[in-house]
Structure 1
């Protein structure tokens, strides 16, 4: 047990444990599979489409449900790949560790660097989406003010440790599901009572006369942001009661549940606004206007609920995930030592947490300028590229190299990850040229940093502490 978790960050409810042989601090295992499902669902947000469904509907030509379905399929195959690797490497480094050991340290570092791109900027994106939701109803308060207030709150909660985070997450998840249920109930009532302007139709799901593959994949690349959070579960492997089975099971359950919810709310939204004109008019907050058709109070409730979900709970989970990842990489020697500092009383990686807060403070103003959709796609560059690499690692390590593993079969080690890699790559390519430029620059910076850090400054990355 100690060998599995040595050197990993402790954000758990228990106290930190010391490995005598290595002098590394690691956490007590306290998180159940249910806790992981709650954490993952909060990070992904059951009501996440509220913020971007108008944009997805506009780009997909009125078929957001199909976009969420395609993204779900890609994520399911990737979740299966996670399930193959977690038992071999139950570590908070996740894909970074898998690529490092199955391919090479250099490849692993670049993968970890791309993971940092995803997780480091996610809180700022969530804060901006939350602020936009509130700004529609309180235009007198600048967007950046809401962002800064939320950032201060989540930083304070994160510094208290995962015990506080899990409690907040469970309360938040319950509240979000109640709001979602209200939207479904009153949305259906509105469609039934207003046949002149709204109706249930198969074209709200798929309209062959308007379908365009290029536009659809562009929509999928945007709505993928609602799914990619399931990978954050693996950053908490060190704290799982069942580190070899819990994360993989939790990820598949999360993707299936939320995929169904995302498609259902997308379908109902298009039934309430068949022409899509309301959402097209305001792609940042068009959904709330559609919800308001069933009652102005419902639109306000959805906006406030989503603002709290994204501004507090999802961004908090994002801060926890990136802090854990950077702590692990710093402990391995791949990042500066200050990111590997741990508060022994709260078991929080203080250096990584505070660094994340400062970076996101700057990113808030950058993303206000470029817009939330572009920012979301930049985050997806990091997520989709690492998910693509995860599938490649499974094919290489379990398929081609033939690592002995009792769960290894042709379809699990070759066919499924191959399909996952292809679908993920197609979505990845659809992100757009501007996003690709930013992503490639980030990747090149990571390669240069790695070469300077290891070759020029002669730092050595010790990955043995992260091996199962």
Structure 2
């Protein structure tokens, strides 16, 4: 087994002589941030806007404050583990190296609950919004068409995704500026005074409800962690990826706070949503009429499409890492075409995404949140194990950097995790039970070892 240190970086051979198990290192710092923001979707605040606004009784911005604090701590831990192990497997790799192959397999399996179903969430939202805007066209047509196009773009390489991300992320940022400006105009035209603190505290305030909402909102932040899956496709990953992870977390979190705050100001009567799944349409109609509804639908669907592209790319890298190690069938651990893409993994995710044709938004949101928070907790613990136990770093500074900060990250994610609904735990624990069954089969009831971790040096 290869050993790594906190400064180790994978050495990439010249692109013309890349072996079949090596990615092409083409991701710049800008491309990484765009990848993370596209995955996160700057307009993701509207993904669960109606659901969480009703869940928290109108305290969505406050729920975002709590989630952002927890995510920044966890983003820090991801950065530290990327420096230790700059490889594609993300949580799977970090936990396997820190705690052994069995826990690593279970962490990777649970991570897949998050990563596999995030593309599905994007397709589901595309179907919901386009079917509402074009009622003559069934939602399944939009879902199937999006899956086909996203799969094609992933198969022709990560560079094509980066170019499309530029356009789609900038479009969302422009829309946010327009939304805030129109919200200010709307508020200025009100005859009754508007309380600027109303989105943060008003009648119905409940800490348990806000915590439950904050736990669901974790899926809005998925994207900063996915940047870590691009480690083997990035030059100087131990420096660039930690910076990109923190940048994506902070930029995304501040955008979510800004948009949710103004949405709550202009539409405080959250209990009157016609349909929580598309409540954002009610907000847009109040702020800018049908013209803004049209612009929002187009921009939001584009954002969901961008998220589907990068989330499919990300989960395919996790499947690739697990296949390369033998934790999954090795066919997933092979790269195809001159672009060096894990084609088998990409096609499998596409097939699983067809579940979007008959699943509900609430169910998908709960599934993703369970997997994400479990993975985040595991990464925070892995930092403590790697640096303070395995590396035996000592001193007050190291205790703070590798003990206190990830420890707080672990406690915050566990707190959010235990705030999830019973549906989340039912689905999540069933998924983990299936993974444990697979682990028993792979190890013949722990009588044989899992294959050694194969790093791309």
Q: TM-score range by the shorter chain?
A: over 0.9
Structure 1 residues 291 and 326: alpha-carbon distance in aligned structure 2, compared to 1, 3 A threshold: same
Match of 2:155 in 1: 159
Match of 1:439 in 2: 428
Match of 1:187 in 2: 183
**After the TM superposition, which of the residue ranges 457-466 and 291-300 deviates more from structure 2?**
457-466
Q: Following TM superposition, by how much is the alpha carbon of 1:397 offset from its aligned partner in structure 2, in angstroms?
A: 2.3
**Deviations for 1:280-333, whole angstroms, at most 9, x for unmatched residues?**
3321111122111122211221122111211x2101111000111101110111
Q: Following TM superposition, by how much is the alpha carbon of 1:366 offset from its aligned partner in structure 2, in angstroms?
A: 3.8
Match of 2:260 in 1: 266
Distance 1:273 1:222 in 2: 21
Does 1:451 find its partner at 2:444? Answer: no
Decide whether the 8 Å contact of 2:223 with 2:248 is kept in 1.
no
Does 1:317 find its partner at 2:306? Answer: no
Distance 1:246 1:195 in 2: 50
Gaps of 5+ in 2: none
Match of 2:201 in 1: 206
Does 1:302 find its partner at 2:296? Answer: yes
Decide whether the 8 Å contact of 1:388 with 1:425 is kept in 2.
yes
Decide whether the 8 Å contact of 2:122 with 2:307 is kept in 1.
yes
Distance 1:358 1:458 in 2: 32
What are the residue-to-residue correspondences of 1:17-416 with 2, within 5 Å? Answer: 17-18=17-18, 25-196=21-192, 199-207=194-202, 209-278=203-272, 280-293=273-286, 294-310=288-304, 312-361=305-354, 363-367=355-359, 371-404=360-393, 409-416=398-405
Match of 1:461 in 2: 451
Decide whether the 8 Å contact of 2:40 with 2:221 is kept in 1.
yes
SS at match of 1:202: coil
Q: Following TM superposition, by how much is the alpha carbon of 1:17 offset from its aligned partner in structure 2, in angstroms?
A: 4.5
Decide whether the 8 Å contact of 2:33 with 2:244 is kept in 1.
yes
Q: Following TM superposition, by how much is the alpha carbon of 1:406 offset from its aligned partner in structure 2, in angstroms?
A: 11
Decide whether the 8 Å contact of 2:9 with 2:237 is kept in 1.
no
Distance 2:175 2:107 in 1: 37
**After the TM superposition, which of the residue ranges 240-249 and 393-402 deviates more from structure 2?**
393-402
TM-score normalized with structure 1 length: 0.91
**After the TM superposition, which of the residue ranges 294-303 and 228-237 deviates more from structure 2?**
294-303
Distance 2:149 2:327 in 1: 30
Structure 1 residues 356 and 437: alpha-carbon distance in aligned structure 2, compared to 1, 3 A threshold: same
Q: In the comparison of the two structures, how many residue pairs are matched? A: 450
**After the TM superposition, which of the residue ranges 179-188 and 314-323 deviates more from structure 2?**
179-188
Q: Following TM superposition, by how much is the alpha carbon of 1:130 offset from its aligned partner in structure 2, in angstroms?
A: 1.9
SS at match of 1:124: helix
SS at match of 1:428: helix
Distance 2:449 2:332 in 1: 15
Decide whether the 8 Å contact of 1:292 with 1:300 is kept in 2.
no
Q: Following TM superposition, by how much is the alpha carbon of 1:464 offset from its aligned partner in structure 2, in angstroms?
A: 4.3
Q: Following TM superposition, by how much is the alpha carbon of 1:408 offset from its aligned partner in structure 2, in angstroms?
A: 6.5
Structure 1 residues 309 and 76: alpha-carbon distance in aligned structure 2, compared to 1, 3 A threshold: same
Gaps of 5+ in 1: none
SS at match of 1:245: helix
TM-score normalized with structure 2 length: 0.93
Distance 1:150 1:183 in 2: 26
